[in-house]
Amino acid sequence: MIDAGSELDPVHPMALPESTERARGLSTAEVAERVARGEVNDVPVRSSRSVAEIVRANVFTRFNLIIGVLWLIMLFVAPIQDSLFGFVIIANTGIGIFQEWRAKKTLDGLAVIGEAKPTVRRDGTATEISTSEIVLGDVIEMGPGDKVVVDGELTEADGLEIDESLLTGEADPVLKRRGDTVMSGSFVVAGGGAFTATKVGREAYAAQLAEEASRFSLVRSELRTGISTILKYVTWMMVPTAIGLVISQLVVKEHNLKESIARTVGGIVPMIPEGLVLLTSVAFAIGVVRLGRKQCLVQELPAIEGLARVDVVCLDKTGTLTEGGMDVSEVRTLGDADEEYVHRVLGALGAADPRPNASLQAVIDAYPATGGWRCTHSLPFSSARKYSGAEFDESDGQHSTWLLGAPDVLLSDGDDALTEIERLNEQGLRVLLLARARGDLEADEVSAGAVPTALVVLEQRLRPDAGRTLAYFADQRVSTKVISGDNAVSVGAVAAKLGMAGAEHPMDARRLPGDRDEMAAAVEDNSVFGRVTPQQKRDMVAALQSRGHTVAMTGDGVNDVLALKDADIGVSMGSGSEATRAVAQIVLLDNSFATLPSVVAEGRRVIGNITRVATLFLTKTVYSVLLAVLVVCFQVEYPFLPRHLTLLSTLTIGIPAFFLALAPNKERAHPHFVRRVMRYAVPSGVIAGVATFLTYLLARHHYTGPDALDAETSAATLTLFLVSMWVLAIIARPYTWWRICLVLAMGVAFLIVLAVPWLQTFFALKLVGTTVPWAAVGVSVAAAAVLELVWRLIGRRFGV
């Protein structure tokens, strides 16, 4: 609302608070001059990594270095088929780079769509421009929800309250006046004004923070942290095992150098779960692309994973369950108030606010200002206060002060009007009270003793898809809590219309206990809360987190910012305030609450599938290490060449893992990723390694002659393939037609290799006789039975 005295013109409602002249801003020539001098807000805000960073991250990894060195060695000492693993790594790296680049394009495109455009005055005209186009000396307008994008000095202020919590940690808004400094990174919670930019670009206070906050992020991801932990353990196991294998093959068996190197490399390469990191990156990247197609901007990649772990979703009613706009259903006068006069007051209040919220906008649409009244002072609406107000010099010379806001805040307990208001709230209608204050707006208790004059009944527009979304969360055993600043009964009625469980018992947040444990119990036991202040929203999120819950918060207004910032996952509507979009990890650009289940499903797909395929990769690591140890202990030749394990890895891990990692998966995410994966991978790898080595020993005892080693290798390869296929068959459950086809296709591919002569020669695989091959099959069947039993025991023991 405006602060200076001026005629309320419905066409030009903006007055000039605390100043005698409205700043015109820079001219076009002045802007061009400043751009030429480099005085422009050129902070390179990015939503994703640069192409160079993507290439670096995918190419220059520890295991790529190890495999690259081994590949170069094999190119010089062995046939090309023993170097296939190197070409696979090149292909994998290329896929990773392409997918992440594709995700980058999606992120960058969505970031441009969702970018807030501040209003800047140039040549006397207010214009929306990109943040990066602001120059030093620009006059920038701001209102509720706007973020301060550069540092500056206030030239106009109209009841301006700025929240600097993102910079200072102090939650209380700061009242700002003309001449005060405003800092980039803060945001407006009430009132309006304008400031002149004094620091832009990298000189601005929060420039570096803003750049880091908007950048592609890989932090605080249990999935990535878990994989890094696994790779660290693998490195520790791999180094001593590889040294022992080298000594065994080069010294103890006294092979020729090339044969020894080939079999040593064949033992080292499969220890490395090289495709695991690739598939994780690809799964995240494809998740970003999929969500991008649904107009969902993921500002931090771990948010996809985090939302999959959420078990409580806190919803703001306005803008989430209901659409932003409202309509005035009726105005009921109280006492002997004149209806025409009430309409005139409402029109004046609407015209006095240059940045009306949704409720006041509905009043403006219904009752436009007729002119003739002069606003001498105003009090902007704030979520903490729950009302706004203005003082007027009326056309007949009278002076009056009016308040418009929450009836249960402005009225005293027991007031007769509360009964009627309660009945309206029970119908899901929103009610504002118009009251005439006895004093002026500057009084400490301006609302005390205010005379009720009229009830403004507003009808809220329910989102057509909100009911289905709430039902989805209920079906997925995710608790939903509606946390609103509106009247509790009204909020409960809206939630009940959408079929939300617990909506019949709404709770007034003013009766919430202050103790965190008691508050947590109350929030857990109830589903709908009204009259919640911004600080209470934050406290309720913290209380739920103290009980071990993973909390997501959705909202679109400045009153949601503190809670969004503290929640595990913050979700903002694209049409919400710039402040909410700045602190949220996920922005729903289409403003559709119904998009949220897609984000949850995408996160569950990523986590559930990566957990599955990680078991495949680490099973290979375990049996590779075990086989190397057994070879060293028994002082025998390593049974495989690199070509054998490349074939096995491709058929039992590489190709299946790629499809399984991208498959639908609705399983709820569970914590302790490393523990869950190793719980299955270790026994599976041990069983596969022991069965393979047992077949190898049987073959060594049976075969003799110069071609014995090839026959022994073929028998061991058959056992390892069959056992690995059974691990794949277990992980592919529950079966669908395409999963069955995938497993069968891998089996057929291996049979083709065994049946086609030139493939037999290429991969050095040829089963000799029938005794050992059938023995290999028998060992594999026994190992598969043990595998099945062990997996079932683990599942029963840990309830998974």
Residues catalogued as catalytic? 316
Q: Quick check: helix, strand or coil at residue 255? A: coil
Q: How far apart are CA 7 and CA 4, in angstroms?
A: 10
Q: How far apart are CA 137 and CA 96, in angstroms?
A: 45
Beta strands in 200-291, from DSSP E residues, in sequence order:
none
Residue closest to 261 by CA, chosen among 7, 83, 16: 83
Which neighbouring-strand residues pair with 530? 508
Q: What is the DSSP letter of 769?
A: S
Q: How far apart are CA 26 and CA 46, in angstroms?
A: 28
Exposure string for 407-421, b = 16+ CB within 10 A, e = fewer: bbebbeeebebbeeb
Q: How far apart are CA 386 and CA 446, in angstroms?
A: 13
Q: Is 22 exposed, middle or buried (0-12, 13-18, 19+ CB in 10 A)?
A: middle
Handedness of CA 749, 754, 757, 759 (dihedral sign): positive
Q: Kindly state the helix (H) or strand (E) to which residue 166 belongs, with its residue range.
A: helix 165-168
Exposure string for 440-469, b = 16+ CB within 10 A, e = fewer: ebeeeebbeebebbbbbbbbbeebeebbeb
Q: How far apart are CA 718 and CA 692, in angstroms?
A: 8
Q: Quick check: helix, strand or coil at residue 379? A: strand
Distance of alpha carbon 796 from its chain centroid, rounded? 33
Q: What is the DSSP letter of 26?
A: B
Exposure string for 118-132, b = 16+ CB within 10 A, e = fewer: bebbbeeeeeebebe
Mutual angle of helices 62-77 and 222-247, in 10-degree steps = 30
Q: How far apart are CA 615 and CA 749, in angstroms?
A: 22
Q: How far apart are CA 404 and CA 477, in angstroms?
A: 40
Which neighbouring-strand residues pair with 553? 314, 570
Given the DSSP bridges, would you call strands 507-508 and 528-530 parallel, antiparallel or unpaired?
parallel
Instruction: Order across the sheet with 374-379: list the strands.
Output: 6-7, 374-379, 387-393, 399-405, 430-436, 451-462, 322-333
Which neighbouring-strand residues pair with 193? 142, 157
